[in-house]
C-alpha cells in the first residue's frame, strides 16, 4: 500500500502552488546555501512559555538548551536538576538513541514499572544501569536506583506537556537476550566479559524501528493530554562508530535513511504528529558551516538557526509593549534578549532599548549586529564602543573610547573587564591590575577579575597566572570553569597531584568544558 495516494489534478495543483517544489539554483542566496532552510508546514501553534518535553539523542539536548533560552519550560531538565545525585551528571543522561529505548522509557514511566533485572547489571562489585551512558561509573545499588528513579520521574512529566519533541538517533542497537529488551547504548566491555552470550548487535529493519515508535505514540496518546502534539525530528549527528564490518559512513546512512522513513510513516499515521526537517537542514548545509571540527557535532549557530525557525514557525508573533520590553531587559539573559529584541527594531529609537540590544549582541558575539545599531544606543561611558573595538582587535581604540564607569551596577564588571582586557592585550599589566582592584572594590565577591587576570598572565608567565587563578579559586572553588582552567595551569607547571585533586569532583560542566576536562584528566593519567 502506498504511503500517499492522490489524483493527478491534485498532484499538478500541488506542483504549481508549491514554491519549494524544486531545487534552488546555485550562485545566489537561497534556501539551500549556506544554511539549508527547508520550508516548514506547522500544524499547531506553540504558546509562549509552555511546557515542552524533549526526548532523543544529543541533538535533543541542543534543542532543550535553545528552547529554554527562548523561554519555554523543560520539565525533563527540571526533574534532573532537582535530584542531587543526577544534577552533577547533567541532562546528557536523558540521551536516547533508538526507537526501542525511547519506547522503553515512556513505557516504564507511564504504563508499567521497570524490573531491576531489566535495567541493572552487577559489575566490579557495584552496579550499572544498562540503559544509561557507559561513561557513568559503577555505583552502589542505592545510587543506581536513585538515578533510575530520577529518569522515570522525568518521563512522568509527559502527561503535563502539550508538546513533545522526539529526536530519532540510530538503528544500530544491542539486544539483551536474557530480558528481550533493547539497550539504549552498547553494553560495557565489562558486561560483555561477564556475560559474553547475553548481548547481541542488531540492525533494526524499518518494520521494527517503526513498530517501537508507533507503540510510543500510542502510549503518549493514551496517557497524554487530549490536545497533545508531537514534533518528530531525525538527529543529523552521525553514528560515531559502527560495530559492523563496513565504513561508518555507510552504516550511518542506513540508520538515518530508516529513521527518516519511520518519521514519515508515523506522521502520516497519527494526526497529532508533525515532522520538523532539522536533519535536512543540517545535512544539506555547507559542511564548513554546519559541522564542528570533529565532523560529528553540529555547530551552535546552525542549531540556533533551526530552533529559531521552529519556534518562529510554530509561534504567532505577539506584539509586546515598550513597557514590557523594558521589563524584559531587566531580567532576561543576553542570548534570549538578543533574539527577542531583534524582532522589535521599531523600539530601537529609544536609546535604552537600543543599548540593551547592542549589549546583548556584544555578549553573544554578534559584533557586526552590535556595530550596526551602536549609533542608536545610550552609551555615556563609551563601554559598548570600547567593547566592540576590543572584539575587533583594536585595544588602543577601546581604551580611548572609555569614559567614566557606568552608573548601572550590572555593567560594572563589563566595563572593568574591557579595561583589563585592552591593557592586557597591550602588555600593560600594571594598568590592568589597577582596573582589577577598582573592579574588586565595586564587586568584592566576584571571582571573574582574578580569573580573567589569570587567563591572560598565564600566557606569558605561568607562575603569575597560577597566583591569580588561586585567588579566583578561593572565591569560587566549586565553579567548573575556574577549577578546570586552574588545573590546566597547574598541569603546565608540573603540579600533577594538585591538578588531579582539583578535577576529581568537577560537576555540572558544559560540553565544551567537558572536552577540556577530559584533556586534563588524560594528561594526568599519562605515564611519566
Q: What is the DSSP string of 157-206?
A: TGGG-SEEEEEE--SEEEEETTTTEE-SSPPPHHHHHH-TTTEEEEE--H
Please, what is the Cα angle at 248 between 26 and 130, to 5 degrees? 125
Fold of 44-313: Rossmann fold (3.40.50)
Edge-to-edge, what's the strand order for the sheet holding 199-203?
181-182, 172-176, 199-203
Q: What is the pLDDT of residues 430-474, one digit of tens each?
A: 999 999 999 999 888 888 999 999 998 998 899 999 999 999 999
What is the sign, positive or negative, of the torsion defined by CA atoms of 219, 222, 225, 228?
A: positive
**DSSP E strand boundaries for 47-143:** 52-56, 120-123, 126-129
What per-residue confidence (pLDDT) applies to 376?
93
Which is nearest to 340 in space by CA: 316, 368, 359, 320?
A: 320
Q: Is the Cβ–Cβ distance between 80 and 150 less than 8 Å?
A: yes
Cα–Cα dist 328/29, whole Å: 34
Task: Count Cβ atoms below 10 Å from residue 300 Cβ, excluding itself.
Answer: 14
Distance (Å) of CA 4 to CA 7, 11, 265, 268, 310: 10, 11, 10, 8, 25
Which residue, chain included where needed, has cell 540503559? 131
Cα–Cα dist 218/214, whole Å: 6
What per-residue confidence (pLDDT) applies to 325?
83
Sketch the domain layout of the chain as residue ranges.
44-313, 319-368, 379-438, 447-528
Which is nearest to 232 in space by CA: 176, 293, 274, 280?
A: 274
Cα–Cα dist 151/105, whole Å: 8
Choice among 7-11, 162-166, 175-179, 272-276 with the minimum mean pLDDT: 7-11
Cα–Cα dist 209/259, whole Å: 7
**% pLDDT > 90, the chain:** 48
Q: Is the Cβ–Cβ distance between 175 and 182 less than 8 Å?
A: yes
The SS3 of residue 478 is: coil
Dihedrals φ, ψ of 324, to 5°?
-65, -40
The SS3 of residue 72 is: coil
What per-residue confidence (pLDDT) applies to 35?
86
Task: Tell me, yes or no, if the two domains 44-313 and 447-528 fold the same way.
Answer: no
Edge-to-edge, what's the strand order for the sheet holding 52-56?
52-56, 163-168, 229-234, 273-275
Cα–Cα dist 367/359, whole Å: 10
Q: Taking all residues of the chain, what is their mean pLDDT, rounded to a whole number? A: 87
Q: What is the pLDDT of residues 320-352, one digit of tens each?
A: 778 878 877 876 678 778 887 887 888 899 999
Which is nearest to 364 in space by CA: 329, 335, 330, 392?
A: 335
Let me know if 221 is exposed, middle or buried by CB neighbors in 10 A (0-12, 13-18, 19+). middle
Which is nearest to 76 in space by CA: 273, 90, 66, 332?
A: 90
Mean pLDDT of 494-516: 79
Architecture of domain 447-528 in CATH?
Alpha Horseshoe (1.25)
The pTM score is: 0.62
Q: What is the pLDDT of residues 356-398, one digit of tens each?
A: 999 999 998 899 999 999 999 999 999 999 999 999 999 999 9
Choice among 81-90, 108-117, 232-241, 509-518 with the minimum mean pLDDT: 81-90
Quick one: pLDDT band at residue 527, thresholds 50, 70, 90? very low
Q: Is the pLDDT of residue 87 over 60?
A: no
Beta-carbon contacts of 491 under 8 Å, excluding residues fewer than 6 positions away, are: 499, 520, 523, 524
Mean pLDDT of 251-273: 95
What per-residue confidence (pLDDT) applies to 396?
96
Which is nearest to 199 in space by CA: 182, 220, 219?
A: 182
What per-residue confidence (pLDDT) applies to 442?
86
Q: Is the Cβ–Cβ distance between 439 and 416 less than 8 Å?
A: yes
What per-residue confidence (pLDDT) applies to 476?
79
Max mean pLDDT among 6-10, 217-221, 306-310 falls in 217-221
Looking at per-residue confidence, does 296 or 206 come out higher?
206
Quick one: pLDDT band at residue 27, thresholds 50, 70, 90? low
Quick one: pLDDT band at residue 501, thresholds 50, 70, 90? confident
Which is nearest to 283 in space by CA: 262, 298, 293, 263?
A: 298
Choice among 106-110, 213-217, 234-238, 309-313 with the minimum mean pLDDT: 309-313
Beta-carbon contacts of 160 under 8 Å, excluding residues fewer than 6 positions away, are: 51, 75, 225
What per-residue confidence (pLDDT) applies to 528?
44
The SS3 of residue 127 is: strand
Torsion-angle region of residue 300: left (phi > 0), alpha (psi -120 to 50) or beta? alpha
Dihedrals φ, ψ of 163, to 5°?
-120, 130
Cα–Cα dist 79/49, whole Å: 17
End-to-end CA distance of the chain: 66
Amino acid at each position: 500500500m502506498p504511503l500517499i495516494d492522490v489524483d493527478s489534478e491534485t498532484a499538478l495543483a500541488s506542483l504549481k502552488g508549491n514554491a519549494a517544489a524544486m531545487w534552488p539554483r546555485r550562485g545566489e542566496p537561497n534556501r539551500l546555501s549556506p544554511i539549508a532552510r527547508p520550508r516548514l508546514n506547522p500544524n499547531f501553534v506553540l504558546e509562549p512559555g509552555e511546557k515542552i518535553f524533549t526526548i532523543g539523542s544529543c541533538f535533543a539536548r541542543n534543542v532543550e538548551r535553545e528552547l529554554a533560552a527562548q523561554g519555554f519550560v523543560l520539565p525533563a531538565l527540571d526533574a534532573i536538576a532537582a535530584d542531587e545525585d543526577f544534577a552533577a551528571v547533567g541532562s546528557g543522561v536523558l540521551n536516547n538513541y533508538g526507537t526501542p529505548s525511547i519506547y522503553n522509557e515512556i513505557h516504564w514511566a507511564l504504563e508499567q514499572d521497570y524490573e531491576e533485572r531489566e535495567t541493572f547489571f552487577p559489575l566490579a562489585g557495584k552496579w550499572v544501569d544498562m540503559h544509561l551512558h557507559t561513561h557513568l561509573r559503577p555505583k552502589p545499588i542505592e545510587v543506581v536506583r536513585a538515578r533510575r528513579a530520577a529518569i522515570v520521574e522525568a518521563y512522568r512529566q509527559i502527561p503535563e506537556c502539550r508538546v513533545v519533541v522526539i529526536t530519532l538517533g540510530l538503528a544500530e542497537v544491542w539486544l539483551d537476550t536474557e530480558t528481550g529488551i533493547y539497550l539504549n547504548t552498547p553494553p560495557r566491555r565489562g558486561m560483555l566479559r561477564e556475560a559474553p552470550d547475553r548481548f547481541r548487535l542488531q540492525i533494526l529493519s524499518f518494520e521494527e524501528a517503526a513498530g517501537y515508535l508507533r507503540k510510543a505514540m500510542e502510549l503518549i496518546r493514551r496517557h497524554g493530554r487530549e490536545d497533545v502534539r508531537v514534533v518528530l525530528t531525525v538527529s543529523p549527528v552521525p553514528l560515531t562508530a559502527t560495530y559492523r564490518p563496513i565504513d561508518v559512513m555507510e552504516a550511518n546512512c542506513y540508520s538515518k535513511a530508516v529513521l527518516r522513513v519511520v518519521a514519515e510513516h508515523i506522521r502520516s499515521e497519527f494526526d497529532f504528529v508533525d515532522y520538523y526537517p532539522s536533519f535536512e537542514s543540517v545535512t544539506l548545509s555547507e559542511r564548513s558551516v554546519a559541522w564542528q571540527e570533529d565532523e560529528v557535532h553540529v555547530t551552535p549557530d546552525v542549531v540556533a538557526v533551526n530552533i529559531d525557525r521552529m519556534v518562529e514557525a510554530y509561534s504567532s508573533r505577539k506584539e509586546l509593549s515598550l513597557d514590557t520590553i523594558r521589563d524584559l531587559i531587566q531580567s532576561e539573559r543576553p542570548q534570549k534578549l538578543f533574539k527577542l529584541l531583534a524582532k522589535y527594531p521599531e523600539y530601537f529609537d529609544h536609546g535604552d532599548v537600543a543599548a540593551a540590544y547592542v549589549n546583548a549582541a556584544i555578549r553573544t558575539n554578534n559584533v557586526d549586529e552590535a556595530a550596526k545599531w551602536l549609533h542608536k544606543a545610550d552609551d555615556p561611558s563609551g563601554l559598548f564602543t570600547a567593547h566592540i573595538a576590543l572584539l575587533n582587535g583594536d585595544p588602543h581604540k577601546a581604551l580611548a573610547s572609555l569614559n567614566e564607569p557606568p552608573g548601572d551596577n550590572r555593567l560594572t564588571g563589563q566595563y572593568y573587564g574591557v579595561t583589563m582586557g585592552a591593557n592586557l592585550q597591550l602588555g600593560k599589566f600594571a594598568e590592568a591590575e589597577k582596573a582589577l582592584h577598582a573592579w574588586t572594590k565595586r564587586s568584592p565577591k566576584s571571582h571573574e577579575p582574578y580569573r580573567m587576570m589569570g587567563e591572560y598572565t598565564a600566557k606569558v608567565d605561568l607562575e603569575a597566572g597560577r597566583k591569580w587563578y588561586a585567588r579566583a579559586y578561593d572565591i569560587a572553588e566549586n565553579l567548573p570553569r575556574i577549577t578546570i582552567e586552574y588545573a590546566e595551569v597547574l598541569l603546565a607547571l608540573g603540579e600533577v597531584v594538585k591538578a588531579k585533586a582539583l578535577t576529581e569532583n568537577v560537576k555540572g560542566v558544559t560540553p565544551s568544558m567537558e572536552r577540556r576536562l577530559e584533556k586534563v584528566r588524560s594528561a594526568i593519567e599519562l605515564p611519566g
